[in-house]
Amino acid sequence: MTEANPTPERRAGLSTRCVHAGDVRDPQGAIHTPLYGHSTFAFDSTADLLDVVEGRAEGNLYTRYGLNPTIRSLEHKLADLEDAQAALAFGSGMAAEAATFLSHTKTGEHIVCLGDVYGGTFELLGENLPQLGIDTTFLTAGEVDQVPSVLTDRTRIVFFETPTNPTLDVFDIVTISQHAHAVGALVVVDNTFATPVNQNPLHHGADLVIHSATKYLGGHSDLTAGAVAGPAELLTPIATWRKNLGQVIAPEIASLLARSIRTLVVRVRAQNVAATAVAEFLNDHPRVTGVNHPSLATGDQAAIIKTQMRGHGGMLSFLVDGDAAATAAVVDRLRVFSIAASLGGAESLVTQPITTTHHGLDPAERARRGIADSLVRLSVGLEDAEDLIADLAQALNAA
């Protein structure tokens, strides 16, 4: 097999790379990497087998190890999109996070988690890892200036999302990376909300990038997957945890994910435009007391966005003028938006974070982070923006 390379004389554009990066042509002439559902692969000789086992040659061995042509093709594509040396694909975003944290911290060491993150990440860092003697300092977005003071010689990872879930705060990757690297800590950025279309954290000093590929990379709400990308030397220990915990992505899902990534750019750019229109509508609505979307950012946030982002994303959140029940009533009246967890699909979704993503977070901690009972999160899909706005208008005006 040989790697497809449509433009060998120059680096292809992002859309072209989404379609072709990582693809291999098989002897049957398939235009994309075929699905290999095999659990194991044969060798012509013991010497050939040992070359793969001992890392002297890239090849296929055993699917749980990730040494499967469908999985490796996807990983080459993922690495290319994040301008990374390598990437690893997982069965979920949480699997990718867990393997990353476990491989780069040990008992007695320390993680800093900055800003709002997915509720499962809070649980992993706040409840699971402490059982292994790994503690985490949690800072809110408003406490970003405290990052240098909480870093110690025990700190191994500074982790954050940008933009964050669900308040869409944006962090300066360059500055945070400088602080972290000064004490020898790695910077791990969750790029799920932005996607490689809108942002490449490795360009700004991050060491590793994580994705819940279930979201925008998958893009159709029909798969569950995760990914981590970065330098090969940092991924090697992560791969060992993935192998021994059985976290590798299934070949069938890898093939489906590669299919989805081929349309990533057109999907995300359309969602950028529609979400901006929805944010502007909500920002002018009398029943809305606040809107969180990068397109509306001002001051320092706007300056950071201009420096490190190429688009504003399809996620936004807003505050309804009312309590939890009144907010739920607005949500329940929506018809084009579906009430559901997750995000990044072709269909638009709505949720109150207090009922889904951050339901398990202590109410006092939610309040400290600005995750109010009246907060509504929207994942803007591929419907016409006018239809989404009309749906929000009728739901908000009916009260």
Give me the DSSP letters along 75-128. Answer: HHHHHHHTT-SEEEEESSHHHHHHHHHHHH--TT-EEEEES---HHHHHIIIII
How many of the other CB atoms lie within 10 Å of CB of 215?
Answer: 22
| Burial track 1-15 (b if 16+ CB lie within 10 A, e otherwise) | eeebeeeeeeebebe
What does the alpha-carbon distance between residue 254 and residue 66 come to, in Å, rounded to a whole number? 11
Question: Is 190 assigned a catalytic role?
Answer: yes
Question: Is 333 assigned a catalytic role?
Answer: no
C-alpha dihedral sign at 384, 387, 393, 396 = negative
Q: Of residues 215, 267, 366, 377, which has the active-site annotation? A: 215
Residue 169: exposure state from Cβ atoms within 10 A (0-12, 13-18, ≥19): buried
Q: Of residues 80, 169, 172, 190, which has the active-site annotation? A: 190
What does the alpha-carbon distance between residue 257 and residue 18 come to, in Å, rounded to a whole number? 11
Please compute, for residue 345, the number of CA atoms within 13 A of its CA located in the half-sphere on the CB side: 16
Q: Of residues 36, 118, 169, 216, which has the active-site annotation? A: 118
Tokens of 100: 């990353």
What does the alpha-carbon distance between residue 377 and residue 308 come to, in Å, rounded to a whole number? 23
- Locus of tokens 């709400």: 221
- Locus of tokens 């669900």: 166
Q: By C-alpha distance, which of 187, 182, 166 is closest to 113?
A: 187
Confirm if 238 and 359 have CB atoms less than 8 A apart: no
What does the alpha-carbon distance between residue 201 and residue 215 come to, in Å, rounded to a whole number? 18
Q: Of residues 64, 154, 269, 368, which has the active-site annotation? A: 64
Question: Is 118 assigned a catalytic role?
Answer: yes
Tokens of 394: 């009728």
Residues sharing a CB contact under 8 Å with residue 95, sequence separation 6 or more, in sequence order: 226, 242, 245, 247
Question: Is 36 assigned a catalytic role?
Answer: no
Strand, helix or coil for residue 377: strand
Residues identified as active-site: 64, 118, 190, 215
